Amino acid sequence: MNKITRRDFLKSAAGGAAAMWLGPRLLEGATALKKPNVLFLLPDQWRFSSFSHGEINDELVQTPNLDKFVLEGARWRKTYATCPLCTPERATIMSGRYPHQTGMMANNKMLPPGERCLAEIFKEAGYATHYVGKTHYDGVAKPGFIPKGWRRRGFTTYEGFNRGHNYTTGQIYFDNDGNEIHPTEYEPKTQTDLAINFMKQNRHRPFFCYLSWGPPHTPYDQVPAQYKHYNVRAGNRRPNVPAGNPDADELNNYFAQCEALDDEFGKLMSALKRLGLDKNTLVVFTSDHGDMHSSQGLLRKRVAFEESLHVPMFMRWPEKIPGETVIDTLIGGIDIMPTVLSLCGLDIPKTCTGTDKSPAIFGETPPNSDAIYCEEYDLKTVNGSWSQTWDFRWRCVVTDQYKLVVDDSPTLDINSVIYLYDLQADPYEQTNLVSNPAYTVTKQTLFNRLVQFRDETGDSFPKAPPLAESFYNV
């Protein structure tokens, strides 16, 4: 592969993008509008609490641009990762299907070619479709160029890599033709510039731009020095962090990464306004999972506690979504694809297992809003810091008030329930109600709902589902 400069890289952005725009579309419940542009932002490992707005938020972190943004659109308060790990959740967002349905049950798996994906629907509707940043659903290749064809998943143009986390040193990107790029600046800045350049080049046609930033994920110390001003102490830790404050340096740098991304987010919003695109662009901000940062004595993700499983989601579209909208409807990663497609007036493929939750934005109650189903897999082969987390498969069901978690007992029954929390009374999950006789009926009701989810979605739990490789047909 040839090496090219960053200037050449930016000049090539959006080259060859997408098919012709097919004209205006009448959106349900709205006047005739141009097709909305979509800017989809997916930072990696950003938990629900790490903003300077919202409920039970982390005390120190500063995110002024995102704080302003949520007042201009919709803030979902109960968004949960379907599976709190990069590859499974990213594949879920892209396909609208559970990991046990696609075989994407662990990192570094390749999404089977037969899956209908989010960008494909936009491309077929005449959108210019473009991916920037980390993908992490295209197998083991690292950094990994994703060639043109079915592995692009509907993205006509592509500027990024499959997997890896290097934000200030050793970065390798690929342009649309596979040429290596070696940026020397902060990785999110390069990615933000690429997204802005794509939107500029396509401002006269509808576009779907998917920007996947690497932070706030390890290595936490790779963040520009001007953001390293946090000083986490025991007095401003979450109350479910045990004494000892073991990862203060990591959390300081995590907050620094959040603030740095907030600045990049601000640049994106300024660019949309400068290009005259802000009014008719649906901006979606969410994450694939969170990070425990010593809550419950654990690090990283893959567990069913709030710091790992509960993620942010914000949406803004001034021509359709009312400002200062706060939504309490439950929504999972599996619901994002049908919800975004519906908002844009596009048909939801029958392959989607998730539910369109867009009516909640306008004060209505969508179907399947009583609970969501989350899942994880066997950690016994995982090395390093993840060995500090749970060492079993699990499933959980989350409702407006409760969270129930089961382990991988040989037989799934009421004795498989290991955690039951009242999230309204106990948002930090410090009181496990699983053995409290006052909650016997509640536990049984939630367990029955979990089994219903399992059976209706074809989950083989507690047996491990087949891996993605078994679904390949090319």
pLDDT at position 470 is: 85
**What are the tens digits of pLDDT across the range 398-450?**
999 999 999 999 999 999 999 999 999 999 999 999 999 999 999 999 999 99
Structural domain contains residue 382: no
Structural domain contains residue 380: no
Mark which of 315, 338, 369 sits at the end of a domain.
369
Higher pLDDT, 65 or 7: 65
Same domain, 404 and 363: no
How far is it, in rounded angstroms, from Cα 220 to Cα 373?
30
Average pLDDT over residues 35-49: 97
pLDDT at position 443 is: 98
Q: Return the CATH number at 445.
A: 3.30.1120.10
For the chain, the farthest-separated pair of C-alpha atoms sits apart, in whole angstroms, at 67
Structural domain contains residue 471: no
| Contact in structure between 146 and 210 (CB atoms under 8 Å) | no
Length of the chain: 474
Same domain, 67 and 160: yes
- Closest to 453 in 3D by CA, of 395, 392, 401: 395
Question: How many domains does the chain contain in total?
Answer: 2
Same domain, 229 and 99: yes
| Contact in structure between 220 and 266 (CB atoms under 8 Å) | no
How far is it, in rounded angstroms, from Cα 237 to Cα 428?
12
Range of the domain at 15: 3-26+34-369
pLDDT at position 318 is: 96
Same domain, 109 and 20: yes
**What are the tens digits of pLDDT across the range 281-318?**
999 999 999 999 989 988 899 999 999 999 999 999 99
Contacts of 343 (CB under 8 A, 6+ apart): 36, 282, 315, 317, 320, 358, 361
Q: What percent of the chain has pLDDT over 70?
A: 89
Structural domain contains residue 147: yes
**What are the tens digits of pLDDT across the range 233-288?**
877 889 999 887 667 889 999 999 999 999 999 999 999 999 999 999 999 999 99
Same domain, 153 and 244: yes
Average pLDDT over residues 336-360: 97
pLDDT band at 330 (very low <50, low <70, confident <90, very high): very high
pLDDT at position 5 is: 38
Structural domain contains residue 387: no
Residue 238: half-sphere exposure toward Cβ, Cα within 13 Å? 29
Same domain, 328 and 453: no
Same domain, 365 and 396: no
Mark which of 369, 401, 426 sits at the end of a domain.
369
Same domain, 228 and 165: yes
How many C-beta atoms surround the C-beta of residue 294 within 10 A? 22
Q: Return the CATH number at 340.
A: 3.40.720.10
pLDDT of 21 > 60? The answer is no
Same domain, 407 and 365: no
Structural domain contains residue 48: yes
Structural domain contains residue 376: no
How far is it, in rounded angstroms, from Cα 292 to Cα 430?
14
Same domain, 333 and 427: no
Same domain, 335 and 402: no
Structural domain contains residue 195: yes
The per-residue DSSP string of 269-291 comes to HHHHHHTT-STTEEEEEE-S---
How far is it, in rounded angstroms, from Cα 59 to Cα 201?
40
Mark which of 316, 337, 369 sits at the end of a domain.
369
Average pLDDT for the chain? 89
Higher pLDDT, 349 or 17: 349
Same domain, 282 and 357: yes
